[in-house]
């Protein structure tokens, strides 16, 4: 199945792990003729089943399920102790003596993968690593279109090699985590349109452009450069159906918002979000925090507490460089607005 034959408009609502994606949001996007996506990285197989059931009760149209390709890490107790010490300045601000340990480091990807095969969405997208050719073949045999997220030309070629149907080329402007899996994350610095042009020239599978795409003129430019569609995360994070917390949303939309920056302090993998106190407190030790998913799991309790307190200085405020152009409105109206802007561009 060819990705772009599944939905009429060249727009994919980017998956946003962290609980913002809702069945209502995904269904509204897909019902409007774009492609909704559900971030599954933090979901158990049962939670995946229940969310997909809800989406299917709201739309008969195609949608995507999205995953972090990851393995549960072996954690060295000395490394763990060191990581907890590095978070001390943040604990002091919270007024905590101890950092509670997480119940698990991450979900079991192999179990999510089997559940994905059982649920058979039209599209599955992946980030943080690559699947093996056999896994891709199993998904395709089940009728699932396989899409890999890439941040370099080498990664696009690697996904093409294992049989992916398409790639999402995520430029450095993108909100949330960088998907880099070959080489150093710090070296995957191409902007969305430079990456798009380079990837389109290098591969013979369809390319979706992501990062900093906020309006119809941006979409038109991506299509002119050879993209088959765009993936927009920040733009759909602030739609009415998103479950983003009120404090996070207000911070993203405030005209005096700080700049965005890439940091690995929250999760151990570089991700883009608004600068805040957590980032500045951790900046001196950013290079020393353990890799994803260990740091992500360790800071989970801090981020949850900050969420409860509505304290935007200690939670992750993931968004892309285009956040100043994000427009809160119902998801279907955003899709219609983007289509009108593409036509006018």
Does residue 35 interact with ligand FMN by CB under 6 A? no
Does residue 318 interact with ligand FMN by CB under 6 A? yes
User: Side by side, which strands form the sheet with 229-232?
Assistant: 11-13, 229-232, 207-210, 166-170, 145-150, 123-127, 63-68, 36-39
Among the listed ranges 15-23, 48-56, 133-141, 220-228, the one in contact with ligand FMN (CB under 6 A) is 15-23
Nearer to ligand FMN, 59 or 209 (CB): 209
Nearest to 174 by CA among 275, 244, 261: 261
Residue 136: HSE in the Cβ half-sphere, 13 Å Cα cutoff? 19
The DSSP code for 35 is: B
Nearer to ligand FMN, 29 or 210 (CB): 210
Number of residues that bind ligand FMN (CB under 6 A): 30
Nearest to 205 by CA among 245, 240, 156: 156
Does residue 180 interact with ligand FMN by CB under 6 A? no
Does residue 299 interact with ligand FMN by CB under 6 A? no
Among the listed ranges 2-10, 135-143, 230-238, 276-284, the one in contact with ligand FMN (CB under 6 A) is 230-238
Nearer to ligand FMN, 86 or 180 (CB): 180
Show contacts with ligand FMN in window 38-67 (CB under 6 A).
39, 41, 66
Does residue 107 interact with ligand FMN by CB under 6 A? no
Contact with ligand FMN (CB under 6 A) among 127, 185, 242, 267 = 127
Q: H-type helices in the chain, by residue range?
A: 23-31, 45-58, 77-86, 88-94, 109-119, 133-141, 153-161, 192-202, 216-224, 234-237, 246-253, 277-282, 294-298, 300-309, 331-344
Nearer to ligand FMN, 213 or 222 (CB): 213
Write down how long the chain is: 345
Contact with ligand FMN (CB under 6 A) among 211, 293, 300, 307 = 211
Are the beta carbons of 269 and 287 closer than 8 angstroms?
Answer: no
Contact with ligand FMN (CB under 6 A) among 25, 129, 151, 234 = 234
Does residue 170 interact with ligand FMN by CB under 6 A? yes
Nearer to ligand FMN, 84 or 303 (CB): 303
Q: At a CB cut-off of 8 Å and minimum separation 6, what does 190 contact?
A: 151, 152, 171, 172, 198
Contact with ligand FMN (CB under 6 A) among 25, 59, 70, 174 = 174
User: How remote is the C-alpha of 63 from its chain's centroid?
Assistant: 15
Does residue 237 interact with ligand FMN by CB under 6 A? yes
Nearest to 277 by CA among 94, 105, 69, 131: 94
Residues lying near ligand FMN in the complex (CB under 6 A): 14-18, 39, 41, 66, 125, 127, 149, 170, 173-176, 210-213, 231-235, 237, 318-320, 322
């Amino acid at each position: 199945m060819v990705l772009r034959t599944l939905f009429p408009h060249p727009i994919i609502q980017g998956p946003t792990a962290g609980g913002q994606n809702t069945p209502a949001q995904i269904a509204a996007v897909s019902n409007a003729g774009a492609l909704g996506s559900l971030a599954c990285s933090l979901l158990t197989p049962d939670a995946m089943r229940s969310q997909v059931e809800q989406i299917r009760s709201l739309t008969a149209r195609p949608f995507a399920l999205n995953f972090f390709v990851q393995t549960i890490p072996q954690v060295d107790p000395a490394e763990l102790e060191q990581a907890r010490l590095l978070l001390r300045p943040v604990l002091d601000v919270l007024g905590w003596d101890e950092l509670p340990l997480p119940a698990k480091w991450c979900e079991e990807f192999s179990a999510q993968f089997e559940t994905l095969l059982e649920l058979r969405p039209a599209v599955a997208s992946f980030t943080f690593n690559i699947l093996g050719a056999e896994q891709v073949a199993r998904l395709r045999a089940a009728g699932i279109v396989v899409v890999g997220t890439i941040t370099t030309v080498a990664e696009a070629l690697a996904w093409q090699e294992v049989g992916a149907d398409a790639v999402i080329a995520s430029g450095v402007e993108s909100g949330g985590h960088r998907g880099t899996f070959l080489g150093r994350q710090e070296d995957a610095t191409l902007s969305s349109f430079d990456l798009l042009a380079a990837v389109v020239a290098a591969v013979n599978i369809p390319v979706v452009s992501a990062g900093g795409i906020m309006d119809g003129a941006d979409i038109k430019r991506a299509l002119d450069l050879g993209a088959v569609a765009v993936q927009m995360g920040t733009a759909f994070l602030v739609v009415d159906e998103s479950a983003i917390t009120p404090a996070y949303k207000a911070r993203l939309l405030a005209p005096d918002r700080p700049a965005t920056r890439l940091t690995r302090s929250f999760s151990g993998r570089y991700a883009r979000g608004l600068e805040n106190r957590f980032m500045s407190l951790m900046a001196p030790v950013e290079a020393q925090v353990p890799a994803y998913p260990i740091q992500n799991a360790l800071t989970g309790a801090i981020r949850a507490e900050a969420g409860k307190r509505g304290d935007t200085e200690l939670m992750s405020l993931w968004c892309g460089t285009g956040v100043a152009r994000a427009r809160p409105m119902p998801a279907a109206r955003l899709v219609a607005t983007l289509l009108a802007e593409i036509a006018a561009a």
